[in-house]
Amino acid sequence: IKQNCLIGQDKVDRMVRLSKINMMLIGGNISNISTGNSIIGNSNINRLMNKVDLIFNNPPFGAEYNINNFIGNDSFHILNNININSGSINSELAVLDKSISLLKPNGRLVIVVPDSVVSAKGIYEEFRKELMKICDIKAILELPAVTFAQAGTRTKTVIIYLQKKASKNKEIFMGVCNDVGYVVKERAGVPVKIQEGINEMYNISKSYLQNKGLENKKFNVIANSPSSTIISYSYIIDSVLNPSFYSADRLNSVIKLKSINNKEFDVKKLGEIVDFKSKSRKNLNVNDEIKHISVLHINSDSTIDLEQARQFKPISKGRLCESGDILFSKINPRIPRLAVVPETNEAFVCSNEFEIINVKD
């Protein structure tokens, strides 16, 4: 295996040299590690299309490539089968797509990507829909922002583990890791990793290995902390694949709601009793007549600190809100923020972090 089956490529010469040194230390074949652009152009890995058993990948995030690099290119099956309205594609989607093309049927991929890949709308959502058709997503593990802080980024990331095959009755293991056993602090301007806390990845991995092939349900809660759940494809909502969205806390709440005796009251979906107004409201800047309500102006008793809102002068626009609107914060669910806009003759806008809700008649 070390002589013929381990193949690597990186665009950065330094990374290639370090990889070769590591291969030499284990007695491996360094001639299989080369410098090259794994995304576009001709490179050594292109000869391996549909031939690779296992890929480990940590691609660059956020680099943009012109869409013309991918249209009509057989190495990018997903990007050629979805509607793309943008003139560019982010590198993480391109690498994920090409990695799947490199896999042989039933081959496996483990890849680190920004959490936008599993949660964002637009092209990301279209990409996920196609991905779920052609691959069996085995597991998605959510990592804390500190994971790659020593390398210079605190971007929230996830690990996706998938197999190149289409199959029915699929489930996805979802793990939420909040602690990787270290923090990163700057010392003399240099980021330093300091051991602290407990690495939750061990228990999450253990939960995954011990619960493969569990009885097929819409969802199963394996562990509460760290959150480990198994979600059926049929329970995936709006193609969102973010593990936090299917956390043990959330699913336990669903279980409790279902167990309540509803003979005394009706249980309804929120959309049945309210209208969501955010998308229909104008975006306006603050001026002498218009003031801005941010999440920081919501008091613990669900009232609004209007005096602070009047003094707040952000650069960004806000959505027009009206008396009687319910403002519900969509950020940081651990700190619930909800308030009702009071009767007032003043004009207010609210931050885009709010969902504007009206109760139906």
| Per-residue model confidence as pLDDT tens digits over 15-53 | 999 999 999 998 889 988 989 888 888 888 888 999 999
Tell me whether residue 299 is exposed, middle or buried, using C-beta atoms within 10 angstroms of its C-beta: 0 to 12, 13 to 18, 19 or more.
exposed
Residues recorded for the chain: 361
71 and 28, same domain (yes or no): no
193 and 67, same domain (yes or no): yes
76 and 120, same domain (yes or no): yes
177 and 303, same domain (yes or no): no
163 and 235, same domain (yes or no): yes
For the cut 70, the answer to whether the pLDDT of residue 335 exceeds it is no
290 and 208, same domain (yes or no): no
106 and 228, same domain (yes or no): yes
How would you classify residue 135: left for phi > 0, otherwise alpha for psi between -120 and 50, otherwise beta? beta
Is residue 264 situated within a structural domain? no
- Give the rounded percent of residues in the chain with a pLDDT score beyond 70: 97
Residue 301 pLDDT level (bands cut at 50, 70, 90): confident
Q: The domain spanning residue 326 has which CATH number?
A: 3.90.220.20
Domain residues for the domain of 120 are: 45-258
State mean pLDDT over 102-120: 95
DSSP assignment of 289-328 = SEEEE-GGGB-TTS-B-HHHHHH---SS-EEEE-TT-EEE
pLDDT digits (tens, 9 = 90+) for 66-108: 998 898 888 999 999 988 887 888 999 999 999 999 999 999 9
Is residue 105 situated within a structural domain? yes
Q: Write down the pTM of the prediction.
A: 0.77
In the block, which residue shows the tokens 């990592």?
A: 143
Looking at 38-42, 56-60, 153-157, 347-351, which range is the least confident one? 38-42
Q: What is the mean pLDDT of the chain?
A: 90
State mean pLDDT over 315-321: 92
197 and 60, same domain (yes or no): yes
pLDDT digits (tens, 9 = 90+) for 158-208: 999 999 998 776 899 999 999 999 999 988 888 899 999 999 999 999 999
Residue type, 275: D
Contact call for residues 278 and 253 (beta carbons, < 8 A): no
Q: The domain spanning residue 136 has which CATH number?
A: 3.40.50.150
- Give the rounded percent of residues in the chain with a pLDDT score beyond 90: 61
Residues 6+ apart with CB under 8 A from 86: 67, 122, 123
229 and 87, same domain (yes or no): yes
pLDDT digits (tens, 9 = 90+) for 227-279: 999 999 889 988 999 999 999 999 998 888 878 776 777 778 889 999 999 99
Q: Can you give the C-alpha Rg of the chain in angstroms? A: 24
